[in-house]
Amino acid sequence: MLRKILIANRGEIAVRVIRACAEMGIRSAAIYSDADRHSLHVKKADEAYSLGSDPLAGYLNVHNIVNLALAAGCDAIHPGYGFLSENPELASACARRGITFIGPSAAVIARMGDKTEARLAMQQAGVPVTPGSPGNLDSLEEALQCAEQVGYPVMLKATSGGGGRGIRRCDDPMALRRNYERVISEATKAFGRAEVFLERCVVNPRHIEVQVLADHHGNCVHLFERDCSIQRRNQKLIEIAPSPQLDEAQRQYVNGLAVLAARAVGYTNAGTVEFLLDDDGRFYFMEMNTRIQVEHTITETITGVDLVEEQIRIAAGLPLRFKQHEIARRGFAIQFRINAEDPKNNFLPSFGRISRYYAPGGPGVRTDGAIYTGYSIPPHYDSMLAKVIVWALNWDDVLNRSHRALRDMGLYGLKTTIPFYQAILRHPEFRSGCFNTGFLEAHPELLNYSTKRRREDFAAAVAAAVAAHAGL
């Protein structure tokens, strides 16, 4: 088993990995920039090492991180999500220096990170993909010809894209002409590569993804699906497991496709296969994320499987502890990404000091975060502050419990997406369990939520202020 793990990340996912290490008797080493000096992951790790003053460069420097891991006596690196988590160079550097990379091989990361290569691999394996260009596009003229063959609307995408960046919908040739150079520019700036490809746009699909685990002994299982259809500008906001929109036949089919996809590329460790579901009930492969997902929490909640612990065990060479038939799901779980944003002001980031923070609790409620009262949110990183995960036995109960949990959460000093989520929870279409990726765009009235705090919230804030003034 591994003895010490360096966590090449920050914030809540770093805290999550630190907790898994503590339960497994493994020492944890955190890294941090000056901007993150007071972050919770630095306080909770067994050891912490400075990356210097630049808020981003240290987290993105493969060789410095590997050298730091060796100097600290670490025998493994966990990349978390974001930053270098899907960078094959990190996995390759670990292999060269004798460090265990907690994730798939560099070759698999590279293949699945190249969306045209991933599409080709899926086609060869018999996994359905949306019609599109056979490879990367060489010119605007080729893009226009391909779009005519595929049929508008089309999605123009960066080959190395991710996180909702480097992607534009084009409804006609004029839009394609207008966006072609823009997407290339975005791809070059964000991912260092100018390659783009094109595929038919599935209009307002359901976004369904499947969690898989695969070890080095030939075992590969799924842990059911998640519904990520509630999103804004291709950024997920609310995730649900399992999807309330699938029947059992669809569930078995798409979960089977995910295992087929993982086996086809020789996948190991934790991964997520993402699909689009159209109105005719057809699934199309979209991409594979070769890392732990932000929303892994809801899969853990409905299955009882600790995905981060399984990641570490697999990386250490151990076999999966369960077969497919031994994995059962129970109830529904919903995750809310609590972002420091002002939905009423075009989701403008709202960074600053948290004057008071109360995490929600009670039966079926989990909070993953890296914040605390008095913590100042740095403006250099993603706006997500915490994740609230709610579980209940049935759909109606998980909705009601979610509303209660969000109402219980107290986060003062900056604006957040909490009241926006409460408005979504009240919407009859969402409560019916029937929605798609166009839900938020179709319901702009959701932004008309009330900003008035409840009386008990106000009383709690006053009591906290009095106690602080009195030094209690």
Residue 15, judged by CB atoms within 10 A of its CB (0-12, 13-18, 19+), counts as buried
Distances (CA, A) of 306 to 112, 207, 270, 389: 24, 24, 11, 15
CA 340 to chain centre: 17
As annotated, the active-site residues are: 291
The residues that bridge with 162 in the sheet, in sequence order, are: 165
Give exposure, 222-239, as e/b (b: 16+ Cβ within 10 Å). bbbbbbbbbbbeeebbbb
Are 81 and 64 spatial neighbours (Cβ–Cβ below 8 Å)?
Answer: no
Q: How far is residue 153's CA from residue 16's CA, in Å, rounded to a whole number?
A: 40
What are the helix (H) ranges across 225-306? 248-264, 296-303
Q: How far is residue 297's CA from residue 295's CA, in Å, rounded to a whole number?
A: 5
Q: How far is residue 80's CA from residue 425's CA, in Å, rounded to a whole number?
A: 30
- The phi, psi pair for 345, rounded to 5°, reads -120, 50
Q: How far is residue 357's CA from residue 375's CA, in Å, rounded to a whole number?
A: 10
- Residue 181 neighbours by CB distance under 10 Å: 11
Are 101 and 77 spatial neighbours (Cβ–Cβ below 8 Å)?
Answer: yes
DSSP 153: S
